[in-house]
Structure 1
Amino acid sequence: MATAVELRVLVGKLKRRLREQTNLGGLAWSQVSVLGHLERDGPATVTALARAEGMRPQSMGANVSALLAAGLVSGSPDPGDGRQTLLSLTPACHELVRASRAAREDWLFQAIQTRLAPKEQAQLAGAVELLKRLVEP
């Protein structure tokens, strides 16, 4: 049980450190989460995004409005239901996401290289394989 607690706390700290490396122009984390959904799952309606985030469509509408105003998402009519709008990432947003991901990976790479001895780096690589087994079905 102690290992599970320590791992949960440690993963939380790592997530926070990686978030610190993210440079998405001062977006709220709820907005960043919307961008993540659109990147992973493709175009979606406000209603679908609200459901995925567990929030009311009105609240999601405010997030989407800010992302539209920032030029990070664009909307087009849903071919299955013209009353709905499908939201997708703009090319500028794809580049911003790519650059942010690269910054986080670079920070992590540098931290591993400078803080861990070669033997420890090998141990970490083995631990990553074990962690994969915890999360894969």
Structure 2
Amino acid sequence: MGKSTLDSEATPLSTAAAELRVLLGQLRRRLREQAGPGDLTASQISVLGRIERDGPTTVTALAQIEGVRSQSMGATVATLQTAGFIAGASHPTDGRQTILSLTPACRAWIKKHRAQREDWLVRTMQAKLSPAEQKKVADAIGLLKRLVDP
């Protein structure tokens, strides 16, 4: 069995990949810190993001996608419903199921919190990077997008 690229001697590319992975994790944590105290848990935010991206869905479908038990997802959804972030409506063809969607209040909350994180990032980039470095970051975004495109 041959050695993988990661098992072999570190190359500049593998070193860059490791550093990028660590750096993105640190950046994600810093952005999460900008949300402020008393906000939602990571799993609750994940559920809201999933519904925002994929559209209305059921508890069962959310549980499958998020890789948790339906009962656990039901508890998460119940908390989000109590907070006024998710609304449920009867399934049009299966009355046993409830279709979950984001409320207008949730959409406003998402918009506000994204703006806060983006404002922090803009201020931080302006404070720590020269205009030339800011341009390099902006130029690198296109390359990073290509890494995640299918």
Query: Is the pair's TM-score, using the shorter chain for normalization, greater than 0.5?
Result: yes
Highest CA radius of gyration, 1 or 2?
2
Note the 1:78-93 alignment, pairs <5 A: 78-93=91-106
Look up the SS of the partner of 2:134 in the other structure: helix
Query: 1:67 — aligned with what?
Result: 80
Question: What's the TM-score once normalised by structure 2's chain length?
Answer: 0.87
How well do the aligned residues superpose, as a CA RMSD in angstroms? Answer: 1.3
Query: 1:10 — aligned with what?
Result: 23
Question: Which protein has the bigger strand share?
Answer: 1
Give the count of matched residue pairs.
137
Look up the SS of the partner of 2:108 in the other structure: helix
Question: Which protein has the bigger helix share?
Answer: 1
Distance 1:65 1:24 in 2: 21
Structure 1 runs of 4+ aligned residues shifted over 4 Å read none
User: CA 1:129–1:18 in structure 2 vs 1: closer, same or farther (change >3 Å)?
Assistant: same
How far the C-alpha of 1:131 sits from its partner, in A, is 0.9
Identity across the alignment (%): 58
Question: What's the TM-score once normalised by structure 1's chain length?
Answer: 0.95
How far the C-alpha of 1:135 sits from its partner, in A, is 1.5
Counterpart code for 2:105:
A
Deviation sequence 1:10-51 (CA, Å, 0-9, x none): 011111111111248432211111111111111110000101
Distance 2:89 2:30 in 1: 36
Distance 1:124 1:102 in 2: 19
User: CA 1:50–1:24 in structure 2 vs 1: closer, same or farther (change >3 Å)?
Assistant: farther
